[in-house]
Structure 1
Amino acid sequence: MAAGSGSRYGKLKQFDELGPRDEFLMEFSIYDAISNGFDHIVIITKAVNQEFLKTYLETRLPDLIKLDVLVQDIQDIPEGMEIETSREKPWGTAHAVWTAREVIKGDFVIINADDYYGKSAFDGASEFIGRNTSESTYALVGYKLRDTLSDHGTVSRGVCEATDGKLLSIEEHIKIKATDKGIFDEASEIYLDPETMVSMNFWICHASIFDYITAYFRHFLEDKSNHEKSEIYLPFVAQEMMSKGVIDIEVIDSKSDWFGVTYYDDKVNAVKTLKQLTDKGQYPSPLWLTS
């Protein structure tokens, strides 16, 4: 997903050149995915970026990789629904996923373009897809809360409750930061366990999710008060699907280090870490033979 506006970062962070050879952060995730056997890359972006991204990636990705660059369009709503809105902001992460409903027909992974998830996250996703035979069993790659904070401001995280490797619930905490006394959520005014598992939007789903998002989105739009600013978030859809017994979600504990670029000052660490990983031989330089 690469349709965000980067309001806290100050620019389109999805296209900031963070790699040793000026690669975008998402390119390292794409590389890790391809290394684990994924052969179809779908990018969700804004209309203004579609042609640029398509051309940019087509000249870099291996010829055997299928590429779709799709636009998250505010006017893309369920058939029969009508809206009257002046909003410019996209409908949210669940809608971004729904944008890919015509090109994805089986199991797939969902990630953010501005997060680095690490090789083991894709190892775990590939292993899960290889052994899972149920269209109603999804998975989530989780990270320890203490490993997902920013030194430069508060962050929003989906705090997971799980038992025996099965996700029970996700609760959004929207203003989390590290303090001298511990990890504190300013919004709910509570301290959180640093070892708590959180979602960084690395999901493994089946195409069966698209029909459910359609129904969820339709119900959302029936309330006209949602038309101007409200969004449909993927964790909320997943939570409802679990609550209704539609799906089970397995939690995969990532062994990789996560990092992201929520704020512009996070860029320094991202650039440094990508160089270190490349210097260690985890990634080639240049990343693609054609770049």
Structure 2
Amino acid sequence: MVLAAGMGSRYGGNKQIDGFGPNGETILEYSIYDAIRAGFGKVVLIVRKEILETAKDLLIPKLEGKIEIDFVLQSLNSFVPEEFQNAERVKPYGTAHAVLCAKDAIAEPFAVINADDFYGKEAFEVIGKFLSSGTQPNLHAMVGYAIENVLSEHGTVSRGVCDMNDSNQLIGMVERTSIARDGGKIVSKGEGETLEIKEGTPVSMNFWGFHQAVFQDIERMWKEFLPANKENLKSEFFIPTVANNLIQEGKAAVEVLEGGKTWFGVTYTEDKPIVIDALKKMHSSGEYPENLWK
């Protein structure tokens, strides 16, 4: 499942369908390529209505015969009863709401990624192995990335900072904002405090592996979220919130998998040249073929 319905406000455009590879490939195409060679057989894209036809025109000709592809719309009224709909709301409801939108399109264990993050082939290999052999209704997973490897040189970022037990299972996750290097340290200056985050600390880059039973839990929490946030037009329903709730309720465990070796993304416009250069080097080294789909 690919989350591709975000607004891209800091980037200033539809980065989900922007070209970065030597042949104009989107970041998403590299994720799909890595997923295919890791054994995935289906991709479901969660998109806004405004980019649906563009996404279809871009991807269907390239992927036909290589992997099954489906498209699901996330709108402000998706899974929202009429009494909770608000014409003044502009902001999407968030990542967990996007997952819920695909409830009727997925009936098997699945991974969740962002369209605008490059995760690396190792991440798809470890999550693919987990989904094919380790997932259970009460056991899910996420790929962990070291905090120092997922920063931007051009501004602050928000990351889900993980707390784990000795079995590499998630105890909880806290969304930290305004994270950047400050001298020789990595600090978060959001939430009214300055907090140092040690190098090596695992964070979530929204690469999850779920048993399909999670849809029932997400829908239950969604029905609690709506009345509690009816008047808050900027409220969002996030996947880490779902994971934390499941852990706190004792309903499920979340394994933190070691596979996050390579990551880059485009939070800001200034990140684009860095991503273009990194992908060019990967093609030159043979990690990816000259053309992904030929």
Contact 2:137 2:214 in 1 (8 A): no
Residue in 1 aligned with 2:185?
Answer: 182
The alignment yields a C-alpha RMSD, in angstroms, of: 1.4
Mapping for residues 254-265 of structure 1, pairs under 5 Å = 254-265=259-270
TM-score, normalising length: structure 1 = 0.95
Percent identity of paired positions between Structure 1 and Structure 2 = 38
Residue in 2 aligned with 1:279?
Answer: 284
Contact 2:5 2:74 in 1 (8 A): yes
Q: What do the CA deviations read for 1:178-224 (whole angstroms, capped 9, x no partner)?
A: 11130011113111101100000000001111111111111111125
Is 1:69 paired with 2:74? no
Deviation, 1:78, is 5.2
Q: What do the CA deviations read for 1:27-52 (whole angstroms, capped 9, x no partner)?
A: 00000001111111111111011112
What stretches of structure 2 of length at least 5 have no aligned partner?
Answer: none
Contact 2:109 2:211 in 1 (8 A): yes
Residue in 2 aligned with 1:16?
Answer: 18
- Whichever residue aligns with residue 190 of structure 1, its letter is L
- Whichever residue aligns with residue 192 of structure 1, its letter is I
Structure 1, 133-142 or 78-87: larger mean CA deviation: 78-87
Corresponding residue to 2:122 among 90, 112, 120: 120
Q: Secondary structure of 2:131's match?
A: helix
Runs of 4+ in 1 over 3 A off after TM superposition: 78-82, 224-227
Q: Secondary structure of 2:85's match?
A: coil
Corresponding residue to 1:167 among 157, 166, 170: 170
Contact 2:119 2:260 in 1 (8 A): no
Distance 1:81 1:135 in 2: 32
Aligned length, in residue pairs = 289
- Whichever residue aligns with residue 185 of structure 1, its letter is S
Q: Secondary structure of 1:120's match?
A: helix
Contact 2:109 2:135 in 1 (8 A): no
What stretches of structure 1 of length at least 5 have no aligned partner?
Answer: none
Corresponding residue to 2:92 among 90, 97, 108: 90
Distance 1:74 1:213 in 2: 17
Residue in 2 aligned with 1:53?
Answer: 55
Deviation, 1:248, is 0.5
Distance 1:77 1:133 in 2: 26
TM-score, normalising length: structure 2 = 0.94
Distance 1:259 1:189 in 2: 25
- Whichever residue aligns with residue 54 of structure 1, its letter is K
Distance 1:256 1:189 in 2: 27
- Whichever residue aligns with residue 211 of structure 2, its letter is H
Q: What do the CA deviations read for 1:198-257 (whole angstroms, capped 9, x no partner)?
A: 000000001111111111111111125445221101101110011101111011112521
Residue in 2 aligned with 1:135?
Answer: 137
Is 1:214 paired with 2:216? no
